[in-house]
């Protein structure tokens, strides 16, 4: 693995724990190893893109971070909290948007958010206040009392982002959040999350196979066949591979010739 460590964002103290640290994590399904000694760090105030083709291990890594699977090797820390030793404290600081749709279609936007708030022990008055705030962030405050089934795919994704903010996490995980969305909806979702990084200093791990979702200022983490091949800023990625474009750099480092639609 090649690493070009990302600096801590301006204004954050070096002693503060990073949003997410994964150290030496492996995972297998039977005889098949899907993650091989994976290590990565997402500092606070950083938009990190976990770039890899389908089957690279991105969803498995997310399942380990969120404790859907148990990591039996290595260590995973969220804002300094170990997910195995102190799972409650760790997951309380984590917001998640999974690739699959998880909203209740027959509840309103507000009701979906209030249900999530109740799971985190928030009282109803505070939950309503936070729901209004979160829906305003994603531009859907005027539709709070509509049923989710009336929304477009992009709007539903924005509600899922709002829901992930209800318990005030310091780290966000988003697993292929723009799959199936049109170009306008993709841009809207990405811009909302980038805004959260800038305004709230969240650490974001954004998993995707779409190269055009990477910006010059992002931390780029390339995952291929269960291994981290590169972690660092985009200019370092291009310099390391000698490529002129991100797409070319990905193809060089992974040895693939696939298009975005097929793999990366």
The model's pLDDT over 33-46, given as tens digits with 9 standing for 90+, comes to 999 999 999 999 99
Q: What is the mean pLDDT of the chain?
A: 92
Q: How far is residue 11's CA from residue 171's CA, in Å, rounded to a whole number?
A: 17
Residues 86 and 25 in one domain: yes
Total domains in the chain come to 2
Residues 82 and 178 in one domain: yes
Tell me what pLDDT residue 257 has.
58
Neighbours of 190 (CB within 10 A): 19
For the stretch 50-63, what's the b/e string if a residue is b when 16 or more beta carbons lie within 10 angstroms of its beta carbon?
Answer: bbbbeebbbbbbbb
Tell me what pLDDT residue 115 has.
96
Is it the case that residue 199 has pLDDT exceeding 60?
A: yes
Is it the case that residue 19 has pLDDT exceeding 60?
A: yes
Q: How far is residue 80's CA from residue 264's CA, in Å, rounded to a whole number?
A: 31
Residues 82 and 191 in one domain: yes
Residues 136 and 209 in one domain: no
57 CB-side CA count, 13 A: 25
Tell me what pLDDT residue 263 has.
43
Which pLDDT band, with edges at 50, 70 and 90, does 16 fall under?
confident
In a domain, 120, yes or no: yes
In a domain, 230, yes or no: yes
The model's pLDDT over 108-126, given as tens digits with 9 standing for 90+, comes to 999 999 999 999 999 999 9
* Containing structural domain, residue 36: 1-6+13-93+170-244
Residues 174 and 164 in one domain: no
Tell me what pLDDT residue 259 has.
42
Tell me what pLDDT residue 72 has.
87
The model's pLDDT over 50-76, given as tens digits with 9 standing for 90+, comes to 999 888 999 999 999 999 999 889 999
In a domain, 259, yes or no: no
Is it the case that residue 4 has pLDDT exceeding 80?
A: no
């Amino acid at each position: 693995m090649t690493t070009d460590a990302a600096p801590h964002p301006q204004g954050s103290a070096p002693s503060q724990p990073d949003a997410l640290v994964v150290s030496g994590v492996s995972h297998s399904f039977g005889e098949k190893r899907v993650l091989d000694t994976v290590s990565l760090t997402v500092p606070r105030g950083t938009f990190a893109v976990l770039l890899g083709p389908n089957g690279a291990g991105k969803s498995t890594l997310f399942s380990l971070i969120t404790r859907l699977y148990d990591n039996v090797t290595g260590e995973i820390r969220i804002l300094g909290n170990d997910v195995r030793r102190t799972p409650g404290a760790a997951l309380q600081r984590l917001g998640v948007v999974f690739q699959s749709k998880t909203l209740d279609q027959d509840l309103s936007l507000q009701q979906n958010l209030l249900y999530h708030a109740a799971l985190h022990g928030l009282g109803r008055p505070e939950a309503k206040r936070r729901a209004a705030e979160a829906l305003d962030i994603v531009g859907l405050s005027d539709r709070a009392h509509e049923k989710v089934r009336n929304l477009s795919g992009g709007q539903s994704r924005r509600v899922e982002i709002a829901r992930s903010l209800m318990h005030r996490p310091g780290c966000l995980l988003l697993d292929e959040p723009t799959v199936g969305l049109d170009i306008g909806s993709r841009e809207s979702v990405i811009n909302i999350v980038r805004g959260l990084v800038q305004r709230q200093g969240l650490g974001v791990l954004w998993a995707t196979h779409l190269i055009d979702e990477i910006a010059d200022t992002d931390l780029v983490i390339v995952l291929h066949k269960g291994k981290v091949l590169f972690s660092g800023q985009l200019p370092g990625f291009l310099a390391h591979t000698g490529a002129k474009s991100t797409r070319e750099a990905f193809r060089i480092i992974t040895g693939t010739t696939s298009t975005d639609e097929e793999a990366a």
